[in-house]
Amino acid sequence: MVPEFIRLAHVLSSALMFGVGIGAFWFMFTTMRSGNPAAIAITTRNAVRAEWFIAAPVALIQPVTGYLLMLELGYPLRSGWFYAVAALYVLAGMCWVYLVKAELGLRGLAAAHGRSAALPGEFGTLFRRWTWLALGSFAGVLAIFVLMVFRPGL
């Protein structure tokens, strides 16, 4: 029963982590295209909340359940596969940390200009940075999914 619970927690937490990321990206990207500072302020505020209350906790669950599954399945901790997964997880996580920092900046700028007709020029620069960080994080997570499914080198 315990291994199945760990596997379920691992799969569900990865689905939540990826789903929150895709959802936040979709809503942030489409709202940014509207150019409406008030709508952007609300969307960025909610994206930051989703990052803190959903994505962050499941990002902590992932390595714990992954480690426990590796022990249960007898996968070696000293394998190229594990090193690749760990490196991609750290890379995706670093992108995510800076992405959240950019979201906080976007939220602040949008809130400060919520009633104005336009956002300051630095907003566009910060949004482009946010977009690249989001894409980097997604690429890392997708690569981890490929490694999880195909397990090359094990």
Confirm if 102 and 131 have CB atoms less than 8 A apart: no
| First-last CA distance in the chain | 25
pLDDT tens sequence across 74-100: 999 999 999 999 999 999 999 999 999
Cβ atoms within 10 Å, residue 144: 22
Taking 80 as the threshold, does the pLDDT of residue 116 lie above it?
no
How would DSSP label each residue in 47-62?
HHHHIIIIIHHHHHHH
Residue-level pLDDT at 72: 93
Judged against a pLDDT cut of 80, whether residue 1 lies above it is answered with: no
| Residue 2: per-residue pLDDT | 73
CA 44 – CA 78 distance, rounded (Å): 40
